[in-house]
């Protein structure tokens, strides 16, 4: 197969160094017989400069750090492959990796948060980066997107202002990786162009359950170019096979303490377990002649094209199937650039994109220390590279020959200019005087935030109100809060009334035209449910005297569907099985080391002695109550149901098999636990949360 996805891995193999063999050496390859004591004058005297090993070791250490990314510093990456489904997109683009189903293209994807430093927690409220490097046979193509389809500002010149507003404040460098502070909201209150992206930031989209369960968007309108040089506008969408799911804000805050690497670990673990995450690439296509048909400007990155207006057509699928070997060499040194284009794709004049095309190359120069970063293994194209660029820090290739210029005769005129397979800029006719200005339609700021708000399901809308209440409630200057609520009133009266009530503010006059009721159901995450429960994490509470047969039966059924089932007990090691046969059951985690927020659903195993022990264990009781509060599916079999009764969960009465309120119980035990029990639990889990459950009074 052409462009096979292992081309990149084969290239990387020549750089991989096994460290589980051989001898310790210096950087010069000299073997070392001791590395714990520097060479001294006598065993208590001063250290000698002649100990070149000690000096080299420390010098390298002193230089280990490079500047973190100015935004998107915190991330996780993985390799994979992309393959188009069928050739239909070939009508619109010459980019073979998008249109030729016989071509499989290796990719590296880096997911990230935006505002936090390298060491910040994964589960903060933030947009997530979704950057994909396609190592195509025609050169590298980078799709540097986010998990939301719109951006905060319209023109790249404002990017430093926006980032300075959202980052920790300059005088005290507080708060880390958080948007709930005065400078961001001061900026927002004075820049209504931010409002649409702010609505997404306040929504569940900013709290993904997993990198594997979020959408990705190219955000800008790009161009596809066909074989005749004709252009079609395009927006790129990634849709996760597992569905799009989110955490609750309270969970996010707790996970930040329990497991700050929650998203990194989740991606790593699922790939390591062979549960490869998958996304479908889709495109929205707009013929050039329809450019001005929309009520917004296609070049405005703060607007999206509703899917109901221009449907997303599936193009191909991407699977991530290999973890990096070395975080720094691969995930940290990967350098994305919006201007890494291949023939068949081009920019538009989107003013945000135009300056991105400057910024990414520029930032890599400082971050990666010079102009040769494209030679780093992770950044090397699999396509042939040959040019006359010379020298610079970190030159890793040995360009041969005397002539480093075009035209030359000394090098036989090589490398030659190509006349096919080349990138040619789309010949867009351009005219106009230089002005600092934006297109007229850029100046409408409220309609799409309103569409977003009115497209939310009940729980999603509740979460948005709570998010505004939290973020604005943290501000130290009331006037900023008031200015933001005034903007909300222009978006939607109900939104403003609800947020104002939470903040104890006067309700501003509603300014939104009530009749303007555009709704796009595709914007609700409820429209993005995946199927099944693969990789969902289920906690099973067990204790000494557990009904091991019942547990085995339920666990087998759930793991057969791809779920990850872990047993948690009041102590580590193992628990005794019910009965006198001396069986034990391994405990995956002690309750003290975990929390319900790290799981998607909870089961309570049976066995009278185990149920008693769990009922008397505050950590176990809290675990179940908290999962209930977070609208997670709960299940119990046999005597495990006693625990639910003990803590007064509003589930079904003791019954052979039943489910109420997202709580599934069966009084059956051992091999009698009905197959339907696991089925019903799995159905709830596939629905992610039991939103109809009323939880505000749960004290956990």
Residue ranges that bind ligand HDD, judged by CB under 6 A: 69-72, 75, 110, 112, 129, 131, 144-146, 151, 156, 159, 219-220, 301, 334, 336, 352, 355-356, 359-360, 363
Write the CA distances from 214 to 7, 130, 210, integer angstroms. Answer: 28, 9, 7
Distance CA 461, CA 523 (A): 12
Write the CA distances from 209 to 123, 204, 300, integer angstroms. Answer: 9, 9, 29
Report, in Å, the least distance between residue 590 CB and ligand HDD: 36
Burial class (CB in 10 A: 0-12, 13-18, 19+), 495: buried
Residue 387 designated active-site: no
Active-site option among 53, 60, 63, 72: 72
Cβ-proximal residue to ligand HDD, closest one: 129
Report, in Å, the least distance between residue 73 CB and ligand HDD: 8
Whether 596 contacts 623, CB under 8 Å: yes
Q: Report the residue number, 352 or 499, with the smaller CB distance to ligand HDD.
A: 352
Query: Is 276 annotated among the ligand-binding residues?
Result: no
Name the H helices within 167-210.
182-190, 195-201
Angle at 199 between CA 72 and CA 110, to 5 degrees: 25
- What is the phi/psi pair of residue 253, to 5°? -65, -40
DSSP 103-143: B-EEEEEEEEESSS-TTS-TTSSS-EEEEEEEEETTEEEEE
Report, in Å, the least distance between residue 146 CB and ligand HDD: 4
Residues 53-69: b if buried by 16+ CB within 10 A, e if exposed: bbeebeeeeeeeeeeeb
Report, in Å, the least distance between residue 537 CB and ligand HDD: 26
Report DSSP state, residue 615.
H
Query: Is 367 annotated among the ligand-binding residues?
Result: yes
Report, in Å, the least distance between residue 353 CB and ligand HDD: 7
Query: Is 82 annotated among the ligand-binding residues?
Result: no
Query: Is 159 annotated among the ligand-binding residues?
Result: yes
Residue 72 designated active-site: yes
Q: HSE, CB side, 13 Å, CA atoms: give it for residue 53.
A: 15
Q: Report the residue number, 368 or 597, with the smaller CB distance to ligand HDD.
A: 368
Q: Report the residue number, 71 or 177, with the smaller CB distance to ligand HDD.
A: 71
Active-site option among 146, 147, 357, 379: 146
Q: Report the residue number, 70 or 385, with the smaller CB distance to ligand HDD.
A: 70
Q: Report the residue number, 131 or 669, with the smaller CB distance to ligand HDD.
A: 131
Report, in Å, the least distance between residue 179 CB and ligand HDD: 16
Residues 6+ apart with CB under 8 A from 694: none
Distance CA 295, CA 373 (A): 42
Give the strand pairing for 634-637 and 601-604.
parallel
Beta bridge partners of 278: 319
407 preceded by a cis bond (ω within 30 of 0): yes
Query: Is 477 annotated among the ligand-binding residues?
Result: no
Q: Report the residue number, 339 or 383, with the smaller CB distance to ligand HDD.
A: 339
Report, in Å, the least distance between residue 625 CB and ligand HDD: 38
Q: Report the residue number, 219 or 668, with the smaller CB distance to ligand HDD.
A: 219
Report, in Å, the least distance between residue 219 CB and ligand HDD: 4
Distance CA 197, CA 194 (A): 6
Per the document, the length of the chain is 700
CA 624 to chain centre: 28
Query: Is 96 annotated among the ligand-binding residues?
Result: no
Residue spans of beta strands (DSSP E) within 612-673: 634-637, 658-660, 663-666
Residues 330-362: b if buried by 16+ CB within 10 A, e if exposed: bbbbbbbbbebbbbbbbbbebbbbbbbbebbbe
Q: Report the residue number, 206 or 465, with the smaller CB distance to ligand HDD.
A: 206
Residue spans of beta strands (DSSP E) within 331-442: 345-346
684 preceded by a cis bond (ω within 30 of 0): no
Annotated catalytic residues are 72, 146
Q: Binding site for heme: residue ranges?
A: 69, 110, 159, 356, 360, 367
């Amino acid at each position: 197969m052409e462009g096979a996805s292992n081309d990149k891995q084969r290239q990387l193999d020549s750089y991989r160094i096994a460290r589980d063999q051989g001898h310790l050496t210096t950087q010069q390859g000299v073997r070392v017989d001791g590395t714990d004591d520097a060479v001294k004058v006598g065993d208590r005297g001063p250290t000698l400069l002649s100990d070149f090993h000690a000096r080299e070791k420390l010098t390298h250490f002193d230089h280990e750090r490079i500047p973190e990314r100015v935004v998107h510093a915190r991330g996780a990456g993985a390799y994979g492959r992309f393959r188009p489904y069928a050739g239909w997109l070939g009508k619109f683009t010459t980019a073979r990796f998008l249109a030729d189903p016989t071509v499989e293209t290796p990719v590296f994807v880096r997911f990230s948060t935006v505002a936090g430093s390298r060491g910040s927690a994964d589960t903060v409220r933030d947009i997530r980066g979704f950057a994909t490097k396609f190592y195509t046979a025609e050169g590298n193509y980078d799709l540097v997107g986010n998990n939301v389809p719109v951006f905060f500002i319209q023109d790249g010149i404002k990017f430093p202002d926006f980032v300075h507003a959202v980052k920790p404040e300059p005088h005290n460098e507080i708060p880390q990786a958080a948007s709930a502070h005065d400078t961001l909201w001061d900026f927002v209150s004075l820049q209504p162009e931010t409002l649409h992206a702010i609505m997404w930031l306040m929504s569940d989209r900013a709290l993904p359950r997993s990198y594997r369960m979020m959408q990705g968007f190219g955000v800008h309108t790009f161009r596809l170019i066909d074989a005749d040089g004709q252009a079609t506008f395009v927006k790129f969408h990634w849709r996760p096979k597992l569905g799009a799911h989110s955490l609750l804000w309270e969970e996010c805050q707790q996970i930040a303490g329990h497991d700050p690497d929650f998203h990194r670990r989740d991606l790593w673990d699922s790939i390591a377990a062979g549960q490869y995450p998958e996304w479908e690439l889709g495109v929205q296509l707009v013929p050039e002649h329809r450019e001005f048909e929309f009520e917004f400007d296609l070049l405005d990155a703060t607007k999206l094209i509703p899917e109901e207006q221009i449907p997303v057509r599936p193009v191909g699928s991407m699977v991530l199937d290999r973890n990096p070997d070395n975080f720094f060499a691969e995930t940290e040194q990967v350098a994305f650039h919006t201007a890494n284009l291949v023939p068949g794709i081009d920019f538009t004049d989107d003013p945000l994109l135009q300056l991105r095309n400057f910024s990414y190359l520029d930032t890599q120069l400082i971050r990666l220390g010079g102009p040769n970063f494209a030679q780093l293994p992770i950044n090397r194209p699999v396509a042939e590279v040959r040019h006359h660029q010379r020298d610079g820090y970190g030159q890793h290739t040995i360009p041969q020959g005397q002539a480093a210029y075009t035209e030359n005769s000394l090098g036989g005129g090589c490398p030659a200019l190509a006349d096919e397979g080349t990138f040619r800029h789309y010949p867009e006719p351009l005219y106009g005087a230089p002005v600092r200005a934006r297109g007229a339609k850029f100046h409408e700021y409220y309609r799409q935030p309103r569409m977003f708000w009115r497209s939310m399901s009940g729980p999603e809308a509740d979460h948005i109100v709570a998010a505004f209440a939290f973020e604005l409630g943290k501000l130290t200057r009331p006037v900023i809060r008031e200015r933001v609520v005034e903007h909300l009133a222009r978006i939607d009266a109900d939104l403003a009334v609800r947020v104002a009530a939470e903040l104890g503010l006067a309700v501003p006059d509603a300014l939104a035209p009530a009749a303007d009721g555009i709704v796009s159901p595709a914007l609700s995450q409820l429209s993005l449910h995946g199927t099944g429960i693969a990789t969902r994490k289920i906690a099973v509470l067990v204790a000494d005297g557990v009904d091991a047969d019942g547990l085995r039966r339920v666990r087998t059924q759930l793991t057969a569907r791809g779920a990850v089932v872990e047993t948690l007990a009041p102590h580590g090691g193992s628990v005794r099985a019910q009965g006198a046969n001396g069986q034990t059951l391994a405990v995956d985690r002690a309750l003290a080391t975990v929390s319900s927020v790290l799981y998607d659903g909870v089961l309570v195993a049976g066995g009278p002695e185990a149920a008693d022990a769990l009922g008397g264990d505050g950590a176990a009781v809290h675990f179940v109550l908290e999962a209930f509060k977070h609208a997670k599916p709960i299940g119990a079999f046999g005597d495990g149901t006693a625990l639910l009764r003990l803590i007064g969960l509003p589930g079904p009465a003791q019954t052979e098999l039943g489910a109420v309120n997202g709580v599934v119980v069966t009084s059956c035990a051992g091999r009698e636990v009905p197959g339907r029990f696991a089925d019903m639990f799995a159905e709830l889990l596939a629905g992610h949360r039991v939103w109809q459950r009323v939880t505000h009074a749960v004290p956990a």
